[in-house]
Amino acid sequence: MEFSPEGPKAIPLWVNGHAFLTVTDSFFDVINPATGEAIYRVPLCAESEATDAVGAAQAAQPAWAMMGLPARRLCLEKLGDALDRYTGHFAKMLMKECGFDEARATAEVVEAVAALRSSAVGETGVFGLVLDASRPLAGLAEAIAPDLMAGATVVVKPSLKAPAAVYALCELSGRAEWPAGVLNLMQGDTAAIAGLCAAGIDKLVYSGQAALGVQVGAIAEAAATPFEMKAG
């Protein structure tokens, strides 16, 4: 998808098991920190896109919970196996958008694979997850895997600085034949976070460094949405 002939390629949303294309008034350029080059664009979404993403998660949650733990564990293991096969591809994305060296980027993917293969079980519900750019892939997997195992469905709001690997993992879940709506993604900044809260999620989770988590928590508190902060 291109929003302009000259501009960098845009990363869409992932809603209800497929790429979700939207056009907004504003976009954010994702910069390669090593070169200063704008490598992607992401739309700055808000309440309408959050409503669509949360609605998909809410619709999918009962059937996902009814599948039973063994079936959900199999889905997570299949995604972990698929990510493992594409370790080099995901590491290159992390190097490009986060400025990681090859060793750190590869370790990030390995940690994400381990989290998806873990047998830990968390809480169920419909959750929103906000990420920073410190560990965009491993932080995602570690935050969502236990709750997905328990029967939760999720809408992820990745960092504007590091959206590509997160989107690619959502796309990989589709290839791994996950039920539509279990894992969703929306792009954006604080308006997107407020939109998730307004759309009626059961809990907002933040994974990353504490300073940004305080800001995310304030948005949740203003909306009277339960909030949990996890170390990134």
Alpha-carbon span 13 to 19, nearest angstrom: 6
**The 3-state secondary structure of 19-58, one letter per residue:** EECCCCCCEEEEECCCCCCEEEEEECCCHHHHHHHHHHHH
Domain ranges of the chain: 13-231
What value does the CA radius of gyration of the chain take, rounded to a whole number of Å? Answer: 16
One pLDDT digit (tens) per residue for the chain, 232 residues? 333 445 568 899 999 999 987 767 788 999 999 898 999 899 999 899 999 999 999 999 999 999 999 999 999 999 999 999 999 999 999 999 999 999 999 999 999 999 999 999 999 999 999 999 999 999 999 999 999 999 999 999 999 999 999 999 999 999 999 999 999 999 999 999 999 999 999 999 999 999 899 999 999 999 999 999 987 6
Domain 13-231 has CATH 2.60.40.420: no
Q: What angle do CA 177, 182, 186 make, to 5 degrees?
A: 110
**226 residue type, one letter:** P
